[in-house]
């Protein structure tokens, strides 16, 4: 049986714009000793595409 203990969890996000402004790098660091045996992270990136417009997003009413 898996026993989960309530230990503090932490998420740390980093966003970095490239020197030419055409790329946004994203890094997420996760620390959750109650669930995982070690910290881990992931990295992603987005390339600037001026033809795509990102609209506002209402997290409480995502209609």
DSSP string, the chain: ---------EEEEEEEE-TTSSEEEEEEEEE-TTT-SS-EEEEEEEE--TT-------TT---
Res 62: pLDDT:
63
pLDDT along the chain (63 residues), means of 10: 73 95 95 90 94 83 66
pLDDT of residue 7: 73
Counting the structural domains of the chain, the total is: 1
**How far does CA 41 lie from the centroid of its chain?**
9
Q: Does 23 reside within a domain?
A: yes
60 occurs within a structural domain:
no
Q: Tell me the residue range of the domain where 33 lies.
A: 10-47
Residue 34 lies in a domain: yes
Task: Establish if 59 belongs to a structural domain.
Answer: no
How many residues are listed for the chain in this entry? 63
**Quick check: is 2 in a domain?**
no
Report the predicted TM-score, pTM, of the whole model to 2 decimal places.
Answer: 0.65
- Note the pLDDT of residue 4: 62
What pLDDT does 34 receive? 82
């Amino acid at each position: 049986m898996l026993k989960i203990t309530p230990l503090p969890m932490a998420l740390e996000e980093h966003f970095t714009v490239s020197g030419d402004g055409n790329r946004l790098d994203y890094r997420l660091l996760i620390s959750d000793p109650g669930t995982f045996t070690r910290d881990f992270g992931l990295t992603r990136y987005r390339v600037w595409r001026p033809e795509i417009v990102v609209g506002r997003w209402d997290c409480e009413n995502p209609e």
